[in-house]
Structure formats: structure tokens, C-alpha cells
Amino acid sequence: MTNTAENSTENTARDTQVTTVVVTGATGRTGSRAARAAEAAGLTVRAASRATGFDWWDASTWADTLRGADAAYLAHPSDVGAPGAAEVVGALAREAVGLGVRRLVLLSARGEDQALPTEEALRASGADWTVVRAAWFAQNFSEGPLVAELRERGELVFPADGVREPFLDVRDIADVVVSVLTSGDRYAERILTLSGARLLTFGEAVAEIAAATGRPLTYRAVSTRDYGEALAGFGVPPEEVAGMTEVFRTLLDGRNAHLSDGVREVLGRAPRDFGDFVREEAAAGTWKA
């Protein structure tokens, strides 16, 4: 009887063990770090991007990527609260479950009401799910359109005025995701909320970058409407402008001006500090004119 019980326990542990993980957005900000962290943890990573034949918007490309994997990290290619995100995430999650990929971790946004339908679509898929709600990324200042403004014009224009944010290092997201995947069912059916170590306004964040680089960088707050008009002037499609401005209008109203303990809960340590991120990127010449 004892041997049967022991064998049952071993089989359960083996059944929930993750060895192969699909990482969507594997060339993106969070996906690239998640892929590296997963490989460092001894997992086999299956990168999912257009370069590998995977396309979020073409369901016929999903099965070849998902089949035979144990888990997947889902990072929607635009915004998790964008129009259509809930439908495509739900469809992909159901396909994954049907192919035996039951362990799914979704990157979501802390405080973003528009992301809730996408989270619900994941929960309704039948997966063993975990939602990771992340605060604004520190790396938004070093990768993507914002860094170009700072590097080339010495000014960041954004609709955030004096709102304080706990900027989160995406390496902490990657570490949390891998810990979730390698901890059996400990974090199944859980929503984990992550933030950085301290609160800063966007202006204070830019001031720290200026101090580290020795450049006179500035921050200029504008209204959400003016920011939307600027995006339209750069050729961003009207539907994307409408979605982005609506997210900013709600997300940047001060609701995120508090810290979350998700990083410490999962990793047993404090989040990386924004100042450490700034010093590393400045040393690498990220904001060099």
C-alpha cells in the first residue's frame, strides 16, 4: 500500500513537471528575458515568433509550435487590453489545452481594466493558469519608441503629468515566470501582482537618467488628447490611437501609485531598483546622443 501511494505521488509530480515551454514574443522585451531565464533554469525553450513560423493572428500556425510542449508563456503582441486580445488569447489557450499544453502563464497589466476580459478568457480555457500583472516596465525607457525621444531629442513627451509609478525591471518578470513554471502547481489559478521597488514620477525617472548620463534630459507632460493627436500624426492607425489613449487615460490616473509584493512572494527577494537599471543602461550607452 505504501509503495502504491509513493508511486502515485511520484506520478503526480512527474505529470506537473515542466520541461518544455513555449515562449511567445521570444524576441520582445519580456519574452527574450523569459526565454533566457528558462534556459538557465534547465528548461527546453521553444521560441514562438514570426521568425519561427508562429503568428498570433494566424491560428493555422499555432499547433506546430504548441504540440509536445508542457507549458507556454503568453505575451500578447500589442497590449493585453487591446481590441481582440481576449478573443485571440482565449482561442490560443483553448488550442494549447487541446494539445496537452495545460500550464499557461499570461502577462497582464496591473490596474488595466481593459485587460480583464483577456484574463477571463485564459481562466475559461480549462488551462492550469497563472496571471502575472506587471507594473510599467523600467525598460520602456531603454527599448522602444520612448528611448529614441530621449536619445535623439533629449526630451520625453508623455501623458503622465505627476503620476507616480513603481517601474518594474522586466528581468524580474522573467524570473517570476520561470519560478512559476518550475514550482509545480503552487501558483496555479493565482493572480500575481508585480511592481518595482519604489515610486517615481516619469519626470523623476527621466531626472535619474539625466544624472547617470550627464545629459540635460527633460520630461514634458501633455494631455492624453494631445498625445493621441501626435501618434496619429506619426501614422499610427486610428483604432490603435483610440485604444492606446483610452488605456493611458485610465491607467495613468494614479491607481498604480502603490507597491506590490509579488516579486518578493515568488522570488524571496526585493525587486530590482530603478536606479540600478539606469546605471547599467547608462554604462552601456543606451541614452548616448
Whether the CB-CB separation of 61 and 37 falls below 8 Å is answered with no
- Looking at the domain assignment, is residue 10 inside a domain? yes
CATH number of the domain enclosing 92: 3.40.50.720
What pLDDT does 3 receive? Answer: 44
- Looking at the domain assignment, is residue 37 inside a domain? yes
Question: Do β-strands 71-74 and 103-109 pair in parallel, antiparallel, or remain unpaired?
Answer: parallel
- Looking at the domain assignment, is residue 207 inside a domain? no
- Closest to 239 (Cα-Cα) out of 60, 100, 82, 99: 82
- Looking at the domain assignment, is residue 72 inside a domain? yes
What pLDDT does 4 receive? Answer: 38
What pLDDT does 1 receive? Answer: 37
Dump pLDDT digits (tens) for 187-215.
999 999 999 999 999 999 999 999 999 99
* Cell numbers 507597491: residue: 259
Q: How many domains does the chain have?
A: 1
What pLDDT does 78 receive? Answer: 86
Which stretches of the chain score pLDDT less than 50? 1-15
- Closest to 42 (Cα-Cα) out of 16, 19, 72: 19
Residue 26 lies in domain: 2-135+167-195+258-272
Whether the CB-CB separation of 138 and 263 falls below 8 Å is answered with no
- Looking at the domain assignment, is residue 162 inside a domain? no
* Cell numbers 510599467: residue: 136
- Looking at the domain assignment, is residue 206 inside a domain? no
CA angle (199 as vertex; 285, 246 as ends), nearest 5:
90
Using a cut of 0.85, tell me whether the model's pTM lies above it.
yes
What pLDDT does 155 receive? Answer: 95
Distance set, CA 265 to CA 77, 104, 176 (Å) = 27, 19, 9
Dump pLDDT digits (tens) for 136-151.
999 999 998 788 889 9
Alpha helices in the chain (DSSP H): 2-16, 29-40, 62-66, 85-98, 116-123, 145-148, 170-181, 202-213, 224-233, 238-251, 262-267, 274-283
The residues pairing with 23 across neighbouring beta strands, listed in sequence order, are 47, 73
Question: Do β-strands 71-74 and 128-134 pair in parallel, antiparallel, or remain unpaired?
Answer: unpaired
Q: At what angle do helices 274-283 and 202-213 cross, to 10 degrees?
A: 40
- Looking at the domain assignment, is residue 161 inside a domain? no
Q: 168: which 3 cell numbers?
A: 518594474
Q: Residue 192: what residue type?
A: L
The residues pairing with 103 across neighbouring beta strands, listed in sequence order, are 71, 128
What pLDDT does 16 receive? Answer: 58
- Looking at the domain assignment, is residue 176 inside a domain? yes
Question: Do β-strands 200-201 and 164-165 pair in parallel, antiparallel, or remain unpaired?
Answer: antiparallel
